[in-house]
Each structure stands twice: as structure tokens, then as C-alpha cells.
Structure 1
Amino acid sequence: MTWSDHVEAARLALPPSARTTGATRLRQLGLKVGPPSPLHFVVAGDLHLTLDGVFLHRTVKMPPHDEDGVSAEAAFIAFCAEARLIDAIKAGSVLLNKTAMDRRLLERMLAEEPWRRGAAEASYVLPFLEGDCRSLPESELFAYVLFAELPVPAVNQVIELSDGAAVTPDLWFAGHGLAVEYEGEHHQDDRAQYNADIDRYAAYRRSGVPYEQVTKERLRSPKATVRLVHRALVDRGYEGPPPSFDGAWPTLFMALRELVRRARTA
């Protein structure tokens, strides 16, 4: 059985009013975030039902939903109840970029229904969402740079090179003329993307624009990735402070519920 088959099987075993939510709903929307199981569903009322591999949430009022699951805004709020800050930043940023989630609708739901599970956590992460990030790794890379207190780059901003070519670097440090690009598996597996990358890097070289490539493997070492970007900035004349791995940095890897608790008791 595929993951979708398991979702459908759970749906058949649950009341007709049950809808997918949280990470399960976000996976249905195309984002591979959170663990694939248990599956998350929500139902209105005080229904107690135990199913293997299914977590059934109960609510006093169903959020907006369609025949499959709750809205992207509601699913994101539910996801934030259990997510780390970095994972919520990644998911929320890409949802905004893909227009699957509307920031205004999200803000309205948080303002009007602050009692919802995950609302306080979603409110906490909202200021850190970057809707110009096109993928989860791009958003992760941007968050690492931001929380390490390096200069804030533009995200997917079209720039014109000296030879007239237009490129869109993942991160662009305009003050230092540095591009940083994420290289995921699809950059190698997709031949069209592979050739487009070759052309883009050739254009950078012709115009004398330095660039750094961050691979999937490099991204697994957040601090090493940040140091790579910092070193490239220094090579371009950056004289600011080095990356800070104190302060805000550790919060990236903490559960949002813990960050909210700390904020309330501060």
C-alpha cells in the first residue's frame, strides 16, 4: 500500500466528517514535512476512537475544509503545534510561495480563533516566513543565514549580469555581489534543470560574479553551511561580525511549543 492508500483506508474507518490535518494534510498539498505516520485527522465533537497509525484530533469547531482535508492555513496551524521552529519556517514559507496558503487568511484565523491547537505556535513563527522561497531547502538555507545574524540576502530576485543575462539566484547578497545557490537532487536528475544550471553558472563566470553552491549533503551540517557563506562574504569584502551560533540560532532546532512557553514566562 502507498501512503495515499493508508490515508484512504483511515478515512474509510473514520466518521465521514473527519478531515486530514497537520503534517498529513500538508503532505497531501505536496510538502514532505513531518513524519509520514501517524496520520493526522480532525473531527468536531468529543469522539474517542483508536486506530493503529492514526491520531484523531478533536475540536469544538471544524476549521475551513474541503472533501479531503482542512485548509492549508488550518493545517499549518495544526502542524506548528508539534513542529520545531526550522520545520515550521520551511513549511510556511513554501506554502506562501506556492499560494497554497494565504497570509491574510492565516492572520485572520489566528486573530479570531486563538484557542485553536497550534495557534500560539503559528503566531510565533509567522514573522520568520519568507514567501519568496520556492522550496523547503531554500527556506532552510535562508533561515540559517538569518538566524546566524549574517547580512540578509534577497531571495529569488532577478538580477542582470554585465553581459545582459538575467539570472535568479536563490540568495543574493547585493552589497557584496555574491550569489548562493542550493543544489538538490533534482538539479542532477532533471536533465533540463541540469543544463539550465550549467548555463547559469557559465553566465556568472563570464560576468565575474562569484557564487557558492550548497548541496543537499552540505545542508545537513547547518553550521558548516553558514561558515561557507560567511567565508565567501569575507572574500568579497565583508567586515561585519562572524556568524553567531548563540542567541537566536539554537531556537531554530527547538519545538515551537517550548519557545511559546518561554515567551509567556519571560
Structure 2
Amino acid sequence: MGGMPGRQQLPVVLRDRPFSRVRADAEGVSPGLLRGPGVRTLVRGVYLAAEVEPTLTHELAAFLGVLPAGTAVDGVTALHYWGVEIGPVTPYRFVTTAAYQSKRPEVRVRRAGELPACRGVVVRPVPALVAARVDLTLLQLVEAGDWLIRAKLATLAEVQSGLSSASGRHCLRAREAAGLVRVGSASPRESRLRLVLVAAGLPEPACNVDLGDEFWFIACVDLYLGEWQIAIEYEGDHHRTDARTYGNDLLRYEALAAAGVLAIRVSKAHLRQPREVAARIHDALVSRGYDGPPPTFGPLWRAVFGPNA
């Protein structure tokens, strides 16, 4: 006596990646299975095994499956794909050479005569950064540019050249960012902290400087004003919550003080009040003999931090 037939399973070839209705039909998958609990719908007509948690790559592959040929992941979304997590990843940004207008609220598609330089179906990091200028503030654009350089996805010269050559919407923002990106920033918060000084007209610090000599290493400091021996350190939450990091910080700051270095510590909460940070750093500079102008909060400051900062 024959047993009951088993429930149909997804073929192995379809279990770890998005697949279309056409591909499902070709693999003999029934419409009932596609409607069942073992399959999730990513986009109408594109599916993924329910046991697989969708990643950004899955989501983008799903949308590319329903967008016209000649389409690539673009702008802020492409930056997120490359690991540069600045700005909102959605709505997903694409660029296409096709005559196409998306009606999906989760997708934005721009038209171009030709695609920017791509790796596969994703716009490369520098042209993605340039395209992202329409969605990012000047501050975010600099943070993202610094990140590309830090991650070795581009050189300083490549980032500056790409931003400087921008045309069209918000090209002035991109060109301004080109003059503000730097090598050496270890995080977006450090980029923001550096811009507090630059935008306020204070001396520009060097990034991530090793202090000491060939015989005695003192510390690597986030930002350093060498002429005045002032270190400016961004303190993330782990500096407070991790006991080992906190203990090492105490020793570090003792060593800096013994070497005559004045350390200014800045937290995430402090950065919400950038004028106060600029004033603190100016006070420290004056205490070390600085006789330059005080912080100013003119057009560059407002462009970077907004009119109300």
C-alpha cells in the first residue's frame, strides 16, 4: 500500500538566492508552493526561501530582477552595498539607460545616457558617492568620502576628482565636499569632529597621529594640533562601558599628560552641540598660546552643520 506523497520542497538550486516565477516554473515548482509558508515574496514575481533571512544583496537582486536590462544599483544604496553605511539605504536607488519610470515607493530609478562605471550590476564606489550627493548632506558626503578612503575603496585623489567633476543637481555640494575629505579619519564621528574645527575656522588637526619617538610610543590620538600639543579624542560608548578600554584610557591619558599633551575628550552627546565643542577647543588653543581668530560660524559652518547648529 503506497504512502502519502510528501510535501513538495524547493529545489536545492533555489534555496539560497532570489528566483523569479519563470525560474520556478522551469524547476517544476508548483504555484501552490510559491503561496505556501516555505516561500517569501521579496517583490511581486520574485521569491526567496522562507528559511533565508533577506540581506541587502537579496533585496537588490530581487528588484534588479524586475527592472529593465541596463540597470545598476546606484547612489546611497550602492555605498551601503560597498559597506559605507552613511544615509538611508531606502528607498533603493538605481540608475538605468532604459526608458523607465518606477511606480514602486521603495525604489527610485534615475535615467542616464550611459551607466557609470560598475562592478557587475553595482555602481563603483566613487561614482556612487558622486550620485549620492542628491540624498546626503555636505557633512554626510564628507563622512562617506573619508570612509571610502579608510576602507581602501578609493584614494583621496580619486574621491576628490570624482566629487570635483560632478555636474547637475547639487554639484556645488559635491565640489565643496571634495575640498573637505581627508586621509586618516578612523570613523564618521572623527570626520565630524575634524569638521567642527575646519568649519569654525580653527587650525585643522592631523588625523590619527602616533605620538612618541623611536624609543617611546605614547599613543595614537584621533586628532592632533601639533603646534600646540593638543590631542582631541572622540570617545565612543565602548570607552565608557568596556572595563578594559576604560582602564587603558586612564593609562593613556596619564601618559599624554606626562608628555605635555593636553587631551580634549569629545563624546557623541557633545557633538550634538558642535558650537560648544568648537568653543572648548578654542579655549584649549588659547591656553597653549594660540593667538588666532576665535571660532566663526559663517557660510561653511551652516553648510556643514545646518542653519540652526
Q: TM-score range by the shorter chain?
A: 0.7 to 0.9
More deviation, 232-241/88-97: 232-241
Matched, 1:93 2:146: yes
Per-residue deviation at 1:217? 1.1
Tell me the residue number matched to 1:264. Answer: none
Higher strand share: 2
Sequence identity (%): 28
Change (3 A) 1:128 1:35: same
Cross-structure match for 1:249: 301
* Aligned-partner SS, 1:239: coil
3-state SS of 2:233 partner:
strand
Deviation at 1:253, TM superposition (A): 3.6
Instruction: Find the aligned partners of 1:180 and 1:138 in 2 and give their Cα distance.
Output: 9
Partner AA of 1:166 in structure 2:
I
Please give the residue correspondences for 1:115-134 in structure 2 after superposition, counting only pairs within 5 Å: 115=167, 119-134=171-186
Q: Deviations over 1:45-69 (max 9, x none)?
A: 3222222211111111111111351
Matched residue SS, 2:296: coil
**In structure 2, do the counterparts of structure 1 residues 108 and 177 end up closer, same or farther at CA, with 3 Å as the change threshold?**
closer
Is 1:14 the counterpart of 2:67? The answer is yes
| Shift, 1:226, TM fit | 1.1
Is 2:225 the partner of 1:173? Answer: yes
- Separation in structure 2 between the aligned mates of residue 208 and residue 241 of structure 1, nearest angstrom: 24
1:154 pairs with 188, 196, 206, which one?
Answer: 206
Task: Return 57-66 or 192-201, whichever deviates more.
Answer: 192-201
2:99 matched residue in structure 1: 46
Across the two proteins, how many residue pairs are aligned to each other? 254
Aligned counterpart for 1:59 among listed residues 98, 105, 112:
112
Provide the C-alpha distance between the structure 2 equivalents of 1:134 and 1:34, rounded to a whole number of angstroms: 18
Contact 2:201-2:296 within 8 A present in 1 as well = yes
CA offsets, 1:85-134, max 9 Å, x none? 211111112212222123444556568x7556665542332111112212
TM-score by length of 1: 0.83
Alpha-carbon distance between aligned partners in 2 of 1:176 and 1:200, rounded to the nearest angstrom: 19
Label 1:205 to 1:110 Cα distance change in 2 as closer, same or farther (>3 A). Answer: closer
Cα deviation for residue 158 of structure 1 reads 1.6
Query: Who is 2:282 aligned against?
Result: 230
Tell me if structure 1 keeps the 8 A contact 2:139–2:192.
Answer: yes
Structure showing greater radius of gyration is: 2
Structure 1 contact 43–57 (Cα < 8 Å) conserved: yes
Residue of structure 2 equivalent to 1:73: 126
Correspondence for 1:27 among 40, 60, 80:
80
1:204-263 deviations in Å (ceiling 9; x for gaps): 1332422011111111111111112112222223232211112421121469xxxxxxxx
Structure 1: state its 5+ residue gaps: 256-266
For 1:260, the equivalent position in structure 2 comes to none
Structure with greater helix percent: 1
For the residue of structure 1 that corresponds to 2:279, the secondary structure is helix
5+ residue gaps, structure 2, are: 1-52
What is the CA-CA distance between 1:199 and the residue it aligns to? 3.8
Contact 1:89 1:143 in 2 (8 A): no
Amino acid corresponding to residue 223 of structure 1 in structure 2 = R
Work out whether 1:201 is the aligned partner of 2:249: no
Q: SS of the residue aligned with 1:76? A: helix
Q: 1:46 to 1:102 in 2, by over 3 A?
A: farther
TM-score normalised by length of structure 2: 0.72
Q: 1:11 to 1:202 in 2, by over 3 A?
A: farther
The CA RMSD over aligned residues, in Å, is: 2.8
219 and 128 in structure 1: CA distance in 2 versus 1, 3 angstrom threshold? same
- In structure 2, the residue corresponding to 1:52 is in which secondary structure? coil
Higher relative contact order (CA 8 A, sep 6+): 1
Q: Secondary structure at the match of 1:158?
A: strand
Give the letter aligned to residue 207 of structure 1. A
